[in-house]
Structure 1
Amino acid sequence: MKADLRQTAKGDRHVIDINDYLSYPGNRDEWQKLKPHPDDGLILCGDVGEKAEHLDLAFSVAKSNFKEVWWCPGNHELYSMPLKTAARGEDKYKEYADIARRHGVHTPEDPFVHWDEVIVAPIFTLYDYSFRPSHLTSTAAAIAWAEETNTVAADEALLFPDPHPSREAWCSSLVAATATKLDFTIAASPETPLILVNHWPLRQDLVFIPRIARFSIWCGTTLTEDWHTRFNAAVVISGHLHVPRTDWRDGVRFEEVSLGYPREWNEVKDAGKDRPQEPVATQWRRWG
């Protein structure tokens, strides 16, 4: 796990962010090795797990080791499993947001929190298939294009938009509501930079997944392309791509913080790309 921790220094405290996936025993074992950071905060950037017990484990361990914890949902938290009985769409999201609140974890539904010199803003925007080539003018065409390379997200079978008519409509609603909340936040604290936290990347040009390049259509929405400047972001954090990396746009730092599946972070470790054992200054873009 130490290979994928990223730290954003704020005074004498830190916000530590990570994307985890507790469906896997290896990840659960590593998660329970977390050590106390009583003055620090932890960001859980989505895809923590697919079952309520995964969220309970993540939040209980996180809250026992960190002063503050923030969470935003990823697509895996929104999966309806088993299909016939699980909550769908907004109800599934609210179910997991309620679990977070029971543990004292901040969610996109809660007021944003001032943390030293910044405001930590977890958000939830989903995607609308607009991260696609310009010649593809519809969702159906974009999905067909992805299928040409045998690329189809499990979302198509497991992630429902209820009560919205489509994922695109749900995304549009989420983006509008989130923009209103962020506008209000900036108006109330115009000099305070934000740490924007979203599972999906806010910009299409940050989607770097060469092995499954056409998966990009499930990776975000162009409606958020300028949010890093529009909402005075100091750092933008996402956790969807499974390619940990650092990028800069318009002077704003973007962090993709996925821990991913055990085989992925073990590849990093085995390649000698993980963080050294001895104390060193933070080094960005160590992998990806």
Structure 2
Amino acid sequence: MSDRPSPPNGKSPTGKLYAISDIHVAFAANREAWANLAPHPNDGLVLCGDIGETVEHLQLAFSTAKKHFNTIWWCPGNHELYTFAKGSSGGVRGVNKYQQCVEIARSYDVLTPEDDFVLWEGRGGPAVIAPIFTLYDYSFRPDDVTLENAVLWAREMNIEATDEFLLHPDPYSSRQEWCKALVQKFERKLEVTKIQFPGVPLVIANHWPLREDLVNLKFIPRFSIWCGTKLTEDWHRRFNAKVVISGHLHIRRTDWKDGCRFEEVSLGYPQQWKECIEMGIGVNELLREILPGPEPPKESEQVPPQWRRYG
């Protein structure tokens, strides 16, 4: 990585940094909402995964975002990695599907986990924007449930992720093996970044939560096995994170851990934000301000999770 990587357009945003995930533009209501994105010419935006499943979905989402924001970052969710038999990416599996998504992003000058991390010098900076990709390894499960029985344990409650049928790990032998390789890869990249930018905090963006204690799924608790890996639990401390952004859960919330702010920034499926639509709250209101963001709590203050149903 160069000493001070710059955004593709060579102009660093001077305004705010926003984030959103799980915009799922395969749904007509979400596409319509995304089309109404407001101009943010001096701001940056992190798209934190689950933009859509196809080449066309990514093209639509990236082209719209690029028209309205100065700089865009993206990290993949599970939906981008899905393989279908037909279509523009028919039969493309695993690492090749991910690489296809990276190339589409780059064609719109969208920064990906495969690109140099960029120093943010806009409002709330300096900070290094670090989009990563870790997947999951079924470790968010009770101690008495073995890895071999994890999916069976979820099925006991009629819960099974579509990933089991559409997200292939090729050329790895399993999703947990791919996850392990990804964790090692981005662990090294974050270590290098910490040395390259001593004392500069990071904004880490990953589709899956970095910590198991952030996965609170009241109605589908056993879906937790598809929600991350215990290998990343201390990354916010190890890599001096100021903010950690994630999605996947479709439950917007803000948490504070060890002085670091954790933001779940999902939009979700249309029925999950229907109340917002009925109240006249759209995508623009649901973009989460990451930097500068809210003031941190006092060191001695214990702040409970803040559930952000309408924002």
Distance change >3 Å, CA 270–CA 213, structure 1 → 2: farther
Letter in 1 for 2:69: F
Deviation track 1:9-47 (CA, whole Å, cap 9, x = no partner) reads xx9611110111100011111101112111000110000
* Cα distance in 2, alignment partners of residues 180 and 274 from structure 1: 38
8 Å CA contact 2:206, 2:246 repeated in 1: yes
Structure 2 unmatched ranges of 5 or more: 1-12, 295-305
2:243 equivalent among 222, 235, 244: 235
* Cα distance in 2, alignment partners of residues 199 and 141 from structure 1: 25
1:160 equivalent among 142, 162, 168: 168
What is the 5 A alignment of 1:276-287? 285-287=307-309
* Cα distance in 1, alignment partners of residues 224 and 17 from structure 2: 28
1:57 equivalent among 57, 60, 74: 60
8 Å CA contact 1:273, 1:286 repeated in 2: no
- 1:96: how far off? 0.6
1:31 equivalent among 7, 29, 34: 34
What TM-score results when the alignment is normalised by the length of structure 2? 0.84
Letter in 2 for 1:141: N
Do structure 1's residue 86 and structure 2's residue 88 form an aligned pair? no
Letter in 1 for 2:20: I
Match of residue 135 from structure 1: 144
Letter in 2 for 1:129: Y
* Cα distance in 2, alignment partners of residues 87 and 143 from structure 1: 25
What TM-score results when the alignment is normalised by the length of structure 1? 0.90
8 Å CA contact 2:33, 2:282 repeated in 1: no
The secondary structure found in structure 2 opposite 1:254 is: strand
Match of residue 196 from structure 2: 188
Letter in 2 for 1:15: L
2:135 equivalent among 126, 131, 140: 126
Distance change >3 Å, CA 51–CA 272, structure 1 → 2: closer
Letter in 2 for 1:76: H
8 Å CA contact 1:125, 1:171 repeated in 2: yes
Distance change >3 Å, CA 242–CA 39, structure 1 → 2: same
- 1:275: how far off? 10
1:99 equivalent among 104, 127, 133: 104
- 1:286: how far off? 2.7
Match of residue 5 from structure 1: none
Deviation track 1:86-143 (CA, whole Å, cap 9, x = no partner) reads 20000000001000000000000000011111111000000000000011122x3111
| Structure with the higher helix share, 1 or 2 | 1
Letter in 1 for 2:64: V
The secondary structure found in structure 2 opposite 1:211 is: coil
8 Å CA contact 2:34, 2:283 repeated in 1: no
Match of residue 114 from structure 1: 119
Identity %: 54
Aligned length: 275
- 1:271: how far off? 7.3
Match of residue 299 from structure 2: none
Letter in 1 for 2:105: A
* Cα distance in 1, alignment partners of residues 254 and 43 from structure 2: 21
